[in-house]
Amino acid sequence: MLLEVRNIDVFYGSIRALKNVSFNVEKGEIVSIIGANGAGKSTTLRAISGILRATSGSIIYNGHDITHTPPHLIARMGISQVPEGRGIFGNLTVQENLDVALSSVKDKKTAGPNQDKVFSLFPRLKERRRQISGTLSGGEQQMLAVGRGLMQNNPFMLLDEPSMGLSPVLTEEIFGVIVEINRLGKTVLLVEQNAFKALSIANRGYVLETGSVVLAGTAAELRDNPDVKKAYLGG
């Protein structure tokens, strides 16, 4: 098992945002976590990447307990998170955003080929590499955020709402890239409000409701589940 989350609780001040959440991800899978706004989806990813701390329970990655590991070391251990709202460094150029992502990479020799891979997935970024990234369009910023994650060359990627604020065409494109990334051998944990799209590319899924996992199953099972259909798939 690549990732195992066991009974974690996460608090924002005195508010319990995650209650006893458990799930796992196998190597090579795409796993989607779906749920409404505020259900705790982003919180779950942030707890894995170390930005938030689980107050109880544990998170095991590749056999290592990373529950209390600081985020920069988790990034160096092999987990890349593409944060919600893109989180690009708006004061840096496109190229500098990609360069900074290499902070987690020990073997800098992989940087060149990796960057070629990113530019072949997102030719727009290559055109705009000298542009200050804060001036990119929303779709381009999302591409940069994913590209930056790919620069880290990590086997496991956490994607937080990659379709947020994107047009249907761009959403389609981003999901195509996620499938492509997975085909290249990366494991993907995807958090999405767009449950339909998320379940269409995932192997398995979990449903979060007010901080707890209420349903789990294969993507097909969840798609056919009447409750999921009613709540997240528009009937």
Q: Which residues bind other proteins (CB under 8 A)?
A: 49-51, 70-72, 75-76, 80-81, 83, 87-92, 96, 99-105, 148, 152
Tell me the closest approach of the beta carbon of residue 148 to other proteins, in angstroms: 7
Give whichever of 68 and 230 is closer to other proteins, judged by the CB atom: 68
> Which of 202, 235, 208, 234 is closest to 221 using CA atoms?
202
Q: What backbone phi and psi angles, to 5 degrees, belong to 35?
A: 160, 170
Tell me the closest approach of the beta carbon of residue 180 to other proteins, in angstroms: 22
Q: Which two tokens stand for residue 133?
A: 């990234």
E-strand ranges in 62-125 read: 64-65, 79-82
Give whichever of 146 and 228 is closer to other proteins, judged by the CB atom: 146
> Which of 184, 75, 166 is closest to 120 using CA atoms?
184
Give whichever of 145 and 231 is closer to other proteins, judged by the CB atom: 145
Tell me the closest approach of the beta carbon of residue 74 to other proteins, in angstroms: 8
Distance CA 146, CA 150 (A): 6
Give whichever of 77 and 216 is closer to other proteins, judged by the CB atom: 77
Q: Are 148 and 93 in contact (CB under 8 A)?
A: no
Q: Which two tokens stand for residue 135?
A: 């001036």
Tell me the closest approach of the beta carbon of residue 89 to other proteins, in angstroms: 5
Give whichever of 191 and 213 is closer to other proteins, judged by the CB atom: 191
39: amino acid identity, one letter: A
Tell me the closest approach of the beta carbon of residue 157 to other proteins, in angstroms: 11
